Amino acid sequence: MSLDAARGLLACPHCRSALEPEPGRWACPAGHSFDVARQGHLNLSGAAASANADSAAMVDARARVLGAGVFAELTRGLDELVPTDAATLLEAGAGTAYYLAGLVERRTGACGVALDVSRPAARRAARAHPRVAAVVADVWQPLPLVDDCVDVVLCVFAPRNLAEFARVLRPGGLLVVATPAEEHLAGLRSRYGLLGLAEDKRGRLAAAAGEHFDLIRTVMLRRGTQLSASLVNDLIGMGPNAHHHPPRVAVDEWVEIAVELSAFRPR
């Protein structure tokens, strides 16, 4: 089962001691235990589902967009930044664990943990790769991992709990953050009234990360592509716009994909 990939990595969300697998559950020495879902993931959130968690429809839309190769440039960019000898990877806000599963697959013996607050996302992530463990957890809360346990943290269009990322990274580890550039989906945003992007995302990320990390490299990825109306609707529907009832797109659209990758070392 894919949860074996998390052996020695997970921490109890109540007492912070290490969790160990037992038949049908994971437990800590203090007696806290968490049942393994029949779909193969582990729920360590300790709370009701978040209102802004990805729905099943959003997760399905994301799977179709990623499966169609819309973000192929991002996949290649991550592969270039993440060391080939990375043994343990964490993706925060992992969604379907598409990026994490690909990185693990291309690194001999590597394993990964996919964290997401969405239960539908965790159910799909549990099937992403035999060496990827899917865990339901809120990235804004203390992460359910022990200290200094992962080589790489990935954060792709997801919330950034930088203090916790620094805590779980081993010395000399790597944090890779993907953020949308100003041009990302700009045409769609203007034509269909989609959510805007925060100003100066690069500067804000660097300032927030500076307390815990040193920026070592940035990479800009750009790709323009013609997408069918169906895929455009999936592209809109897989993200936060889905919570705001966006209009349906009826025609094929030229879409600009523009993503900045930032790589950091913990201080």
CATH number at residue 31: 3.40.50.150
Number of domains into which the chain is organized: 1
The predicted-structure confidence for 38-50, as pLDDT tens digits, reads as follows 999 999 997 777 7
Using CA atoms, how far apart are residues 98 and 67, in angstroms rounded to an integer?
A: 9
Whether pTM > 0.75 for this model: the answer is: yes
Give the pLDDT of residue 64.
98
Give the pLDDT of residue 1.
53
Sign of CA dihedral 53, 57, 61, 67: positive
Rounded to whole angstroms, what are the CA distances from 85 to 79, 104, 138? Answer: 12, 10, 28
The predicted-structure confidence for 197-215, as pLDDT tens digits, reads as follows 876 677 788 889 999 999 9
Cβ 235 vs Cβ 227: under 8 Å: yes
HSE, CB side, 13 Å, CA atoms: give it for residue 226.
Answer: 2
Helix 98-105 and helix 72-81, axial crossing angle in degrees, nearest 10:
50
Give the pLDDT of residue 200.
67
Give the pLDDT of residue 54.
95
Mean pLDDT over all residues of the chain?
Answer: 94
Using CA atoms, how far apart are residues 215 and 210, in angstroms rounded to an integer?
A: 8
In single-letter form, the type of residue at position 126 comes to: A
Ranges of the chain whose pLDDT falls below 50: none
3-class DSSP state for residue 86? Answer: coil
**Range of the structural domain that residue 136 is part of:** 2-266
Q: Strands 253-266 and 169-180: what pairing? A: antiparallel
